[in-house]
Structure 1
Amino acid sequence: MSLAQQWAEARPKVAGLHLDSGACSRQSLAVIDAVTAHARHEAEVGGYVAAEAAAPVLEAGRVAIAALTGLRTSDVVYTTGSNDSLDLLLGSWAGERTLACLPGEFGPNLAIMAANGFAVRALPVDGNGRVVVDDAAAQLCADPPALVHFTALASHRGIAQPLAAMVAVCRAAGVPIVVDAAQAFGHLDCAVGADAIYSSSRKWLAGPRGVGFLAVRPELLAQLQRRVPPADWNVPMTVLQSFENGEHNAATRLGYSVAIGEHLAAGPELIRARLAELGRTARQVLAEVPGWRVVEPVDEPTAITTLEPTDGADPAEVRAWLIAERGIVTTACELARAPFEMTKPVLRISPHVDTTAEDLEQFVEVWQAAP
C-alpha cells in the first residue's frame, strides 16, 4: 500500500477536497481515539490521575520530538502552540533585546517580538525571500544581534530556507538561533541542531489544535530567567519546567504524541519526498491558469504553492466560494501575515501526502470557474 493510501485510510473520509494542511491537517482516527479515550479516562479517575497514567506516552512524544529536531529529550517541553512557545522564550530572555529575522517574518511573531521589547532588524534575502547565507554571515559578524529568529518555511510563500547553513553561520558568529518550525516540522529536515526550535501540532504532523512544543539547548537555557514563579522566589523549578507549569489540555498532548509516532512510523524522509513531489505537480498544473501567478519555483522542495492574482481577483472571496460551492479548503493570506514583505493578498494551497494528481486537476478546473 502506498504512503498516500495509508494516510487516507487512517483518516475519516474528507468532505470535499482538503488543500490546507499548512493551516490545519486532518487528524487520524488513532489520534482522535487517543484524545477521546483520555477525556473519558479523566471522567473515570480524575484529570490528574489520568495525566499521570498518560506520562509514558507523553514522554515518548518528547523522545520523538527530540529525534526530529536534533536536540535531547530533556530539552523538550509541550506548549499550547507556536505563538505560546515564542512568547515563553522571548519573555524569559535575560539579555539585550535585539533580534535579526527575515523580512518575510510571520506577522504574529513580529507582534510577540514587539510585545516583549525586541528591536528587530532584517536579514539579507534574494528576490524569492530566501536568505543570502554569505551576506547574513557577514552581517552577523559585523553587528551581531542578541538572537536570530529564523522561520525555516513561511506560511505565505513555500520557499524552503537553508536551515542547516544558517545554524552553522549563527554558531560561527556566536549568535543563538531560534527556529520557527511551524511550517517546517514534518515537512523539511529540522534535525540540524538549532539552539531553540518550536512548532505547532496541527499542521504537517496532523495532530490536534491547541498544542505544540518548544525545545531549548542548555546553553541557551542558561541565558533565560524564570518569569513565573518570579526568579527570586525560592521555588525548586527550572525555567524549562516553568514553561509547562500551567493549565493545559492533556488529551491534546497525548494526541500529538500519537501523531508524531505515526509520522515516524510512516517515514519522515518518505513524507518529505512525497510533499516535494506534490509541490512540483501542483506548480506545473497551476502555472498556466490565466489571472494568477505561481510564486514558487517549480522544483522548490515544499508542498506549499502560493498563487498571486494578476487580474484583480480577491483571494479571500475565492477561498470562501471554493468552500461554500465545492467543499475545497485553501488559505487566503492577507498582508498582515507578512507585513514587511507582502504587497498583495495571495491564495495558498498546501496538500498533504494523500492528495492525488487527480485532486489537483480537479482543483484547477473548479478554481478557474470561481468568480
Structure 2
Amino acid sequence: MTVLADRWRAARPKVAGLHLDSGACSRQSLAVIDAATQHARHEAEVGGYVAAAAAAPVIDAGRSAIAVLTGMTASDVVFTTGANHALDLLLSSWTGPRTVACLPGEYGPNLAVMAANGFDVRVLPADRTGRLVVDEAATALAVSPPGLVHLTALASHRGIVQPARELAEVCHGVGLPLVIDAAQAFGHIDCAVGADAVYSSSRKWIAGPRGVGMLAITPALAERLRPRLPPPEWNLPFTVMQSLEHGEANLAARVGLSVALGENLAAGPENIRAVLAELGRLTRTTLADVDGWRVVEPVDEPTAITTLQATAGADPQRVRAWLIAERGIVTTYAEVQRAPFEMAAPVLRVSPHVDTTADDLEIFAEALVAATSEV
C-alpha cells in the first residue's frame, strides 16, 4: 500500500489541502497533464489533423487499455465526452423495445437520458442497502423481459458494490443485453464482468482529464444498434462503431486519458482495487464514532466510497463548503437528485484515492467534528 501510495503521490502536483473527492474528480498526474498539453501545442505547430495522426498510436493504446479493463477488444471501444454522452449514444441507437430495467437507486442523470430517449423504466429488486437481489431479478427478467437491462455497478450516492457479474450471467441466460454504468466503478472495482456494454468517464478513479469518456460494446450488441448520425438511409461506408465516435473531439483529452489508463495498468489494476478497498475500511472505521453522522456502507464493503448521513440536523452542503473554506478539504455534497427515487435526504461523500494516509483521515475526522459544530 505504501509503495503504491508514494508513487501515486510523487507523480502528481502537491495537493493544496486534502483531496477526498476522487468519486467526483481525481487528481491528474504530471504525465497526463504534460501529454495533453503537448498534444495541444503540437496542434498549433503542425495543424490539428496532422497532430491527430501523430497521436493515433497513443489513442489506440488507450483503446487497448480500456479493452483490458472491460474484458472486450480494442475494436469494441469508442471515445465519448463522458458517461452521460455514452449512454445517450447507446440508447438513441437502440432498435429494440424501449424498456429498460434498473435499480430503484439509479443515477438521476441516467434516468433523464432514458426518459429523453423514450425508454420506459422498470424497477429491479433491491435489498435495504440498495444492492440487487439477484435471484428475484432473475425471476422478474424471465417473466417480463425488458429491451435492455442497465446496472450502475457502483452508485454516485452510496459505495455499495453491485453483483454485476452475477447479473450478467442472468441476462445471458435469458437473452437480454446488460449495459453497465461504470462511472464510479472503472479503475475502482473489477469491470470485466461479461456485460454487453460498459461506459464511463475519465475524470474519476482513472484520474484522467475532464470532458472525455468511453463506451465499450460487444459486436453482438453493436449489430443491434442504428446510430442517428449519419442517417442510416444514406448507406455511407461507416461501421456502427465509426458512426458512434464523433470526429470533432478534444484529442488532447483523449491523449491524456490514454496516458492515465497506461498508468493504471502499470500500477496493476488489482493492486489499486485492493488499496482502495482497504482505504474504504479505514475511512469507515475512522469515521464510525463521529457524533452527528452515520456511516452508510458496511465497514468491509470493497470500495473507497464512504457515505455519511447527518443524524442531528447538519446540512451536508454547508459542511462541505466549510471544510473547503476553513481547512482546504474537498469532499462531495450528494444531493437527492442523484438518486431521486431512493434518496430521502442529501449526504456527504468521502472518496480518497490510493495516496490518502491514515493521518489524512484522522485530520478529516477532526475537521468534520469542527465543521458540524460550526454550521
Instruction: Using the TM superposition, give the Cα deviation of residue 243 of structure 1 relative to its aligned residue in structure 2, in angstroms.
Output: 1.5
User: Contact 1:179/1:198 (CA < 8 Å) preserved in 2?
Assistant: yes
Partner of 1:60: 61
The aligned counterpart of 2:294 is: 293
Q: What is the rounded CA distance, in whole Å, between the counterparts of 2:90 and 2:279 in structure 1? A: 34
Match of 1:218 in 2: 219
Partner of 1:113: 114
Q: CA deviation at 1:72?
A: 1.1
Does the 8 Å CA contact 2:78/2:245 hold for their aligned counterparts?
yes
In structure 2, the partner of 1:36 is 37
Mapping of residues 299-338 of structure 1, within 5 Å: 299-338=300-339
Partners of 2:283 and 2:235 in 1: CA distance: 57
| 1:157 matched to 2:163 | no
1:176 paired to 2:162: no
**Which one-letter code corresponds to 1:7 in the other structure?**
W
Matched-pair contact (CA < 8 Å) for 2:89–2:227:
no
CA contact (8 A) 1:129 1:159 kept: yes
- Gaps of at least 5 residues in structure 1 are none
Of 298-307 and 227-236, deviating more is 227-236
1:2 maps to what in 2? 3
**Structure 1 CA distance, aligned partners of 2:216 and 2:312?**
44
Identity of aligned residues (%): 71
Using the TM superposition, give the Cα deviation of residue 238 of structure 1 relative to its aligned residue in structure 2, in angstroms. Answer: 1.6
Q: TM-score, normalised by structure 1?
A: 0.99
**SS at the partner of 1:224?**
coil
Contact 2:80 2:246 in 1 (8 A): no
The 5 Å alignment of 1:218-297 reads: 218-297=219-298
Letter of the 1:27 counterpart: Q
In the alignment, the residues of structure 1 paired with residue 312 and residue 346 of structure 2 have an alpha-carbon distance, to the nearest angstrom, of: 13
**Aligned: 1:16 with 2:17:** yes
1:138-187 Cα deviation digits (max 9, x unpaired): 11001000000100000100000111111111111111000000000000
CA distance in 1, matches of 2:159, 2:325: 26
Residue number in structure 2 paired with 1:133: 134
| Residue type of the alignment partner of 1:233 | W
Distance 2:198 2:273 in 1: 19
SS in 2 for 1:308: strand
SS in 2 for 1:155: coil
Alpha-carbon deviations, 1:304-328, whole Å to 9, x = none? 0000001111101000111111110
Instruction: Name the counterpart of 1:83.
Output: 84
Q: CA deviation at 1:245?
A: 2.9
Tell me which residue corresponds to 2:340: 339
Question: Structure 1 residues 244-253 or 276-285, which shifts more?
Answer: 244-253
Residue 226 of structure 1 deviates from its aligned partner by 2.1
What amino acid sits opposite 1:327 in the alignment? G
TM-superposed deviation, 1:244? 1.4
**Paired AA for residue 18 in structure 1:** H
Displacement of 1:193 in angstroms is: 1.9
Contact 1:226 1:238 in 2 (8 A): no
Are 1:315 and 1:347, in contact at CA under 8 Å, matched by a contact in 2?
A: yes
- How far the C-alpha of 1:239 sits from its partner, in A, is 1.9
Using the alignment, how far apart are the partners of 2:223 and 2:264 within structure 1? 32
Does 2:23 correspond to 1:25? Answer: no
Considering only aligned residues, what root-mean-square deviation do their CA atoms show, in Å?
Answer: 0.7
Q: CA deviation at 1:260?
A: 0.2
Tell me the residue number matched to 1:123. Answer: 124
Question: Does 2:207 align with 1:209?
Answer: no
CA deviation after TM superposition for structure 1 residue 246, in Å: 3.6
Is 1:92 aligned to 2:83, yes or no?
Answer: no
- State the alpha-carbon separation in 1 of the partners of residues 211 and 173 from structure 2: 36
Q: Is the 8 A contact 1:278 1:351 kept in 2?
A: yes
Which stretches in structure 2 are left out of the alignment for 5+ residues?
A: none
TM-score by length of 2: 0.98
Rounded to whole Å, the distance in 2 between the matches of 1:148 and 1:329 is 34
The number of equivalent residue pairs is: 371
Extract structure 1 runs of 4+ deviating beyond 6 A.
none
